[in-house]
Amino acid sequence: SAVISQKPSRDICQRGTSLTIQCQVDSQVTMMFWYRQQPGQSLTLIATANQGSEATYESGFVIDKFPISRPNLTFSTLTVSNMSPEDSSIYLCSVGGREGTYNEQFFGPGTRLTVL
């Protein structure tokens, strides 16, 4: 398993500002994922953070709104840009246990974002 930490754990932000969320893993991993969990909803994949290349975004999510960095194999950031109240969600970082789609993913504790 992997131990994943996220910063900040929660934040309250003003409309129009941006917030960068950090994800740190205790071991080197190839694939890191960012999910969003809106209030009372399930988890939705935002993007896959690839080391050394551009992130891969899911339908409905764009780089201008959610820029992602992946400078090395243990760290990634997700920025929520030009925030609106609709961005109020829990944002979760996740990593794959091992290569292959049949292996479980491990999740960070999440960042609870409230936009006023």
Partner 1 sequence: AQSVAQPEDQVNVAEGNPLTVKCTYSVSGNPYLFWYVQYPNRGLQFLLKYITGDNLVKGSYGFEAEFNKSQTSFHLKKPSALVSDSALYFCAYSGYALNFGKGTSLLVTP
Among 25, 36, 49, 110, binds partner 1 (CB under 8 A): 110
Least separation, in Å, of the C-beta of 64 and partner 1?
22
Residues 89-108, interacting with partner 1 (CB under 8 A): 92, 94, 101-102, 104-108
Task: Enumerate the β-bridge partners of residue 72.
Answer: 75
Least separation, in Å, of the C-beta of 12 and partner 1?
16
Q: What is the DSSP string of 6-73?
A: EE-SEEEE-TT--EEEEEEESS--SEEEEEEE-TT--EEEEEEEETTS--EEPTT--TTTS-EEEEET
Q: Does 69 interact with partner 1 (rule: CB under 8 A)?
A: no
Q: Does 111 interact with partner 1 (rule: CB under 8 A)?
A: no
